[in-house]
């Protein structure tokens, strides 16, 4: 039985491209060290898991579940995150790139600002480490909702992540220190609305193909 080996995806922009909102130092560490560690540890855990299946060692398979969940989630979440960011001022960061999504946001929250406030409040209310997501629900209703996931848990259950915001301290602390609210305020300048629209309309295969 062979096992897929995952690799760190290249960033779609330079390390300093999100400045001044996210510093080059954070991006280098976050992508080159943190995300790389999730990829490395996911590959190790999957390799061990395949070996444990081959020998029928169920206890070893169970012991590996948490490592697969944590590092696999970390790889999925960060891969989505890099692509749902873009340098401030580029076309991708203009909300007009997401016409269908904007209309759905207005239907759901009444206005874009009401959604932005609700999302920001949810991000700042997260205790410990985790992520905030705008998702499109599975099924015919396809409604939008704000979902928070703990640690590196990914969005599951068929919901489609439209964009996510990393609320781990490693995502902002070297630049913002304890100023989490300023990080959340500034992240809106670098959201990639083109990617968000593509995910909302189902034009992306990212959820299943990393
Ligand atoms: Fe992160």
pLDDT 10s per residue in the chain (210 long)? 678 899 999 999 999 999 999 999 999 999 999 999 999 999 999 999 999 999 999 999 999 999 999 999 999 999 999 999 999 999 999 999 999 999 999 999 999 999 999 999 999 999 999 999 999 998 767 799 999 999 999 998 889 999 999 999 999 999 999 999 999 999 999 999 999 999 999 887 665 556
Whether 159 has a binding-site annotation, put simply, is no
Count of CB atoms within 10 A of residue 94's CB? 12
Residues with Cβ within 8 Å of 37's Cβ and at least 6 positions away in sequence, in order, are 71, 74
Whether 49 has a binding-site annotation, put simply, is no
Query: Beta 160-166 vs 130-136: how paired, if at all?
Result: antiparallel
Q: In which residue are the tokens 């700042």 written?
A: 124
Whether 57 has a binding-site annotation, put simply, is no
Q: Which residues pair with 148 in a beta bridge?
A: 132
Whether 30 has a binding-site annotation, put simply, is yes
Residues with Cβ within 8 Å of 93's Cβ and at least 6 positions away in sequence, in order, are 86, 87, 189, 190, 191, 192, 193
Query: Which domains does the chain show, CATH number per domain?
Result: 24-83 (1.10.287.990), 91-200 (3.55.40.20)
- 35 C-alpha to ligand 1 centroid (Å): 7
Q: How far apart are CA 43 and CA 12, in angstroms?
A: 23
């Amino acid at each position: 039985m062979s096992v897929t080996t995952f690799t760190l995806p290249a960033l779609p922009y330079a390390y300093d491209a999100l400045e001044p909102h996210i510093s080059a130092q954070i991006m280098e560490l976050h992508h080159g060290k943190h995300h790389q560690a999730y990829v490395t540890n996911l590959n190790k855990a999957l390799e061990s898991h395949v070996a444990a299946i081959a020998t029928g060692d169920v206890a070893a398979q169970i012991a590996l579940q948490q490592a697969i969940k944590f590092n696999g989630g970390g790889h999925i979440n960060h891969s989505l995150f890099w692509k749902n960011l873009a340098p401030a001022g580029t076309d991708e960061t203009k909300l007009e790139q997401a016409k269908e999504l904007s209309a759905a946001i207005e239907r759901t929250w009444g206005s874009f600002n009401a959604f932005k406030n609700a999302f920001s409040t949810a991000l700042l209310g997260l205790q410990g480490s985790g992520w905030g997501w705008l998702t499109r629900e599975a099924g015919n209703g396809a409604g939008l909702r704000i979902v928070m996931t703990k640690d590196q848990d990914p969005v599951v259950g068929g919901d489609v992540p439209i964009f996510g915001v990393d609320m781990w301290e490693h995502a902002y602390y070297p630049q913002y220190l304890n100023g989490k609210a300023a990080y959340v305020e500034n992240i809106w300048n670098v959201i990639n609305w083109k990617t968000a629209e593509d995910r909302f309309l189902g034009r992306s295969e990212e959820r299943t193909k990393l």
